[in-house]
Structure 1
Amino acid sequence: MKVLVPVKRVIDYNVKVRVKADGSGVDLANVKMSMNPFDEIAVEEAIRLKEKGAAEEIVVVSIGVKQAQETLRTALAMGADRAILIVAADDVHSDIEPLAVAKLLKAVVDEEKPGLVICGKQAIDNDMNATGQMLSALLGWSQAAFASELNLEGDHAVVTREVDGGLQTIKVKMPAVVTVDLRLNEPRYASLPNIMKAKKKPLDEKTAADYGVDVAPRLTIVKTTEPAGRKAGVKVGSVDELIQKLKDEAGVL
């Protein structure tokens, strides 16, 4: 079985994000970029399936700017077999919207014929949490979102997913789209020998036009602002005083 894993290039989660002076967006100049953490977990899970003998080939795909090659090479160094880069933007500040991403991924799926798509539940830059669900709808495949455990049983995937009330285990027929949560696994570090080997692994470069998909944005960013600073807290001397403040000052009771 072939496993397809979409990965996204985002601002590294250790970097403090700065808003541009004109409020037009986030400043990405000279900012460290890395693979979306949820996508990294998806790559790790695909590798573990291959190590168990449940998968034969892992194909990673990224959609965005040419610099996303670095992200794909990281996935190849972790253990993926092949990579596909779809160049859909020239400016690093351009973010491809979820529906356009899902349409491009559907075209890749139609071409590659994987038995399973594993992707992060969301990207940490826009927090859309929509691409996996949209891809499932476009393909007409089963879907399992927010997976914290994944097991394959024949032509079915058994997924334990995190929901508001706790954990829910479902069984879906494959082919399927599974979006993964943080507690699924801990991604491995790429070793130096594997990083060197990744440079020789195949990486195909294509464009959105090759798949006939329009990636023009439907949304316009009107303004971007820093979050308001948090006010200093106060200490209360008793439960009664706390209740009074919640009533009179916070207005939550």
Structure 2
Amino acid sequence: MLIRAGYEIRYETEVATPMLALLSIHPSRNEDLVTPHRIIGTPDVPMYGYTDSFGNMCTRLTVPAGGLTLSCDFTIEDSGEPDPVTPDAIQHPLEDLPDDVLIFLLGSRYCETDRLSNVAWSMFGHIVSGWERVQAIVEFTHNHIQFGYNFARPTKTAWDAHQERQGVCRDFAHLAITLCRCMNIPARYCTGYLGDIGVPVSDAPMDFSAWFDVYLGGRWHTFDARHNQPRIGRILMARGRDATDTALTTTFGPAWLAGFDVHTDEVAALDRG
């Protein structure tokens, strides 16, 4: 299947303000592109790209005084298959985990493993390790947090989401990730596009989405505590320890979000003549 996706995001500033953006698709999806993926700045400004330590494609630029609009529109090929389900995926003993996976067991800015460790073990310690335990964490998180865009704030952590029982998709992901790490299951934060493909269309404005991966059975598996069901058409943009590593934009000075539009839709096959 083909998916057309992209965005138009407007920032306004009074003075020139450096910005770091993770608005490209993840390099692992580059070979699936059917049309070019280019970030366009209006006005045109110099942009410099590099790959960070988590394998994400980052863009450095400076928002000029007055503001800048960033936009992108592309078509990508997708399998059309929902997230794989692997109920027999095992949880590895800590000593058997690869070195580069260990970082995803540690606490991070939004994932306070120290504050939630006792909660996690009291709730999930009796559940069979592996896929069943992760699914129990996902179901708890899904039912524990009430979703609402009005509940979003940039400082909210997993502990806050657990206590307040309200949040957006990143809060679902942060809480589930933290509970998994407390149970010695490596978990990493993911962000990207997720349209209403294969599910009833939502009347809410389209937005970027957050989900998470866990390391079981020798590889990473996708879970989504916000939706708690396999979904079709995820387009990964970035992954890391939490939202700090995957922030769509980080400004190094005062800047105001003045416009935000995201689109993600299944489209008919292109004529490749």
TM category (shorter chain) comes to under 0.3
Relative to its length, the structure with more helix (as a share) is 1
Greater Rg by CA? 1
Q: TM-score, with normalisation over the residues of structure 1? A: 0.23
